[in-house]
Amino acid sequence: MNILFASTKEKPEFWFPLLQKALPADRFCAWPDINGGDIDIALVATHPKGTFAGLRKLRLIQSLWMGVENIVGDTELPRGVPVARLIDPGMVAAMGETVIAYVLDWHRHFYCYRSFQNQKTWKRRRQYLASDRTIGILGLGELGGTIAAKLLAMNFNVAGWSRRPKQLDGVYCSTDLEDVVRRSDALVCLLPLTDKTRGIVNARILALIPKDGCLINMARGGHVVAADLLAALDSGHLAHAYLDVFETEPLPADSPLWSHPGITLTPHIAALTEPRTSVGKVAENIERVRRGEKPLNTVDFAAGY
Amino acid sequence: MNILFASTKEKPEFWFPLLQKALPADRFCAWPDINGGDIDIALVATHPKGTFAGLRKLRLIQSLWMGVENIVGDTELPRGVPVARLIDPGMVAAMGETVIAYVLDWHRHFYCYRSFQNQKTWKRRRQYLASDRTIGILGLGELGGTIAAKLLAMNFNVAGWSRRPKQLDGVYCSTDLEDVVRRSDALVCLLPLTDKTRGIVNARILALIPKDGCLINMARGGHVVAADLLAALDSGHLAHAYLDVFETEPLPADSPLWSHPGITLTPHIAALTEPRTSVGKVAENIERVRRGEKPLNTVDFAAGY
């Protein structure tokens, strides 16, 4: 089969040697070189405009990322072609590392000790047990479910919100957003970005997080109303916020988020796709298409992810 | 029995209600009020000078901390009275949280992203898998063993050094210090401070950590030769150091450690004794003395801990 790689973010030089080894009989090309137009599979992550034009034989659009809002939102998306999300075990593990690092940074006051260090101040904050804290997770899919289990193993209490009812061992699961947020000393956003989740973390929700709590947004910038977050930090209600994602990326130099003392931010690196752990998942879906089977982890366009 | 509480750091008002509830028949007093001199048990943590003078009935010195170098080093220590270390499950869990937070901070380059944020720089570092890294642990006792298991569960490779041969599932254990340090991308010090471990992390050992590695010293300031650490950071050999403990505490305002960009430091808070989780352990040892049994976790004076 002919497989097109089309991404403004992922680099074909990292992927092609691994893909070619996993799929030795297939031919790979990198957009805009579409190899005569007979493309069977498109591998995409923030694809260039016009990627799908003229690809009449396309049988699968395989995302190289878990988040697919750039694909679902593309008005030039060919009708009837399935789109698959990538569930990369390396990316899921990386997200677990980041969320645990930030939960501990807040739980053990390390953000605060960094400012004490800047002031050369030797001062202690009260130490809490993990069992004194409840971590709330918005989104109980592959990421949220995995991370909930890791936090439970560290003895935190965990509450989780999802649109559809879920049951996870040891987790207080609810479809009532306000109920979950009221219980959440730290609120972690891991949702897909859809029409229903855009702006979900707004002033009303931030006010329900118990005082001295924190927000950890590792999903998409569009989930959080930035002005409302700044107000919740400035009022002293929230102790800290950890942000990896922004409405505009790279974050513009004039954004007040960069230098706010209550914000720790990173350049959308919470969890990167890892070619070594994901090429097997990509190859598996390509083999399924070759055998005429339904690919795994296809997008539900009605839900938006 | 008469139980004396003698500490310049721990506060009797947090401990007495819990102790009295666990041991309703016993009488508690706080140094220097020694209740007539008939003290059976002394509960200590950085005890005041002269604490043990005239305590002729003393049957147990129970530390409220895991580290006992202040007790072992007290020239006025009454001969023949057993000294017990405190193995507090809350303190062990807290140390696990701190070490994991710092291992992740280094592994995922968060120390570096904080400096990028200060410069308003949107730039990515390479993401590694946990399985690409080996975490080395100096000291495989209660803390080291517990933390090794937590790191293995996160998919890190773990190597460990101990004075006496040990075997821990999945951990590369060795009594050869240089062998362990050469394998350790991040080196975590959790040793007791004794004549044999003072200054153990010196220029020679720091040079054996692979380039871009880090040091995490959560044990005692005396383990690390501070001038050698500063040189290893300044030369660019070590990427970062995390320090919770110092030769002199509070750390003097003129110490160069405060403002070195390669150092993240905290005021000896990596793991505080938690009265809620440790009072049961203290009570258990007191009951053993009452029944004429040998208390648990007594100090081996030849080893120094």
Reported ipTM: 0.95
Cα A106 from chain centroid (whole Å): 20
Q: What is the pLDDT of residue B34?
A: 86
User: pLDDT by residue (tens digit) across B83-142?
Assistant: 999 999 999 999 999 999 999 999 999 999 999 999 999 999 999 999 999 999 999 999
Q: Does B97 touch chain A (CB under 8 A)?
A: yes
On whether the B89-265 domain is CATH 3.90.79.10, my answer is: no
Helices vs strands, H then E, count in chain A: 9, 12
Q: Does B123 touch chain A (CB under 8 A)?
A: yes
Measured at the alpha carbon of residue A48, what is the angle toward residues A24 and A142, in degrees to the nearest 5?
70
Mutation choice for A interface testing from B108, B109, B131, B260 by most A CBs within 10 A: B108
CA distance B18 to B279: 7
- B-chain residues near A95 (CB < 8 A): none
Cα–Cα separations (whole angstroms), residue A100 to A137, A304, B113, B183: 12, 28, 17, 25
Cα A62 from chain centroid (whole Å): 17
Q: What is the pLDDT of residue A34?
A: 86
In this structure, are residues A134 and A148 in contact, taking their beta carbons and an 8 Å threshold?
no
Global pTM value: 0.95
| Span B168-183, average pLDDT | 98
Phi, psi of A77 (to 5 degrees): -60, 130
Q: Does B167 touch chain A (CB under 8 A)?
A: no
Q: What is the pLDDT of residue B54?
A: 87
Secondary structure of residue B161 in the 3-state scheme: strand
Q: Which residue has the tokens 């004039």?
A: A254
Domain ranges of chain B: 2-88+273-290, 89-265
Could A267 and B123 be called an inter-chain contact, meaning their C-beta atoms sit closer than 8 Å? yes
User: pLDDT by residue (tens digit) across B21-64?
Assistant: 999 999 999 999 987 779 999 999 999 999 999 899 999 999 99
On whether the A2-88+273-290 domain is CATH 3.30.420.40, my answer is: no
Residue B237 DSSP code: S
Structure tokens at A304: 């938006």
User: pLDDT by residue (tens digit) across A63-116?
Assistant: 999 999 999 999 999 999 999 999 999 999 999 999 999 999 999 999 999 999
* A2-88+273-290 and A89-265 have identical folds: yes
The share of chain B scoring above pLDDT 70, in percent, equals: 100
Mutation choice for B interface testing from A14, A104, A128 by most B CBs within 10 A: A104
| Span A280-299, average pLDDT | 97
Cα A212 from chain centroid (whole Å): 25
Nearest to B127 among A94, A253, A259 (CB): A94
Q: What is the pLDDT of residue A54?
A: 87
Cα A78 from chain centroid (whole Å): 25
Is residue A107 annotated as part of the catalytic site, yes or no? no
Nearest to B105 among A90, A101, A249 (CB): A101
| Span A241-259, average pLDDT | 98
> Quick one: which of B11, B15, B13, B70 has its CA closest to B286?
B15
Is residue A240 annotated as part of the catalytic site, yes or no? no
| Residue A36 reports pLDDT greater than 90 | no
Nearest to B122 among A113, A116, A267 (CB): A267
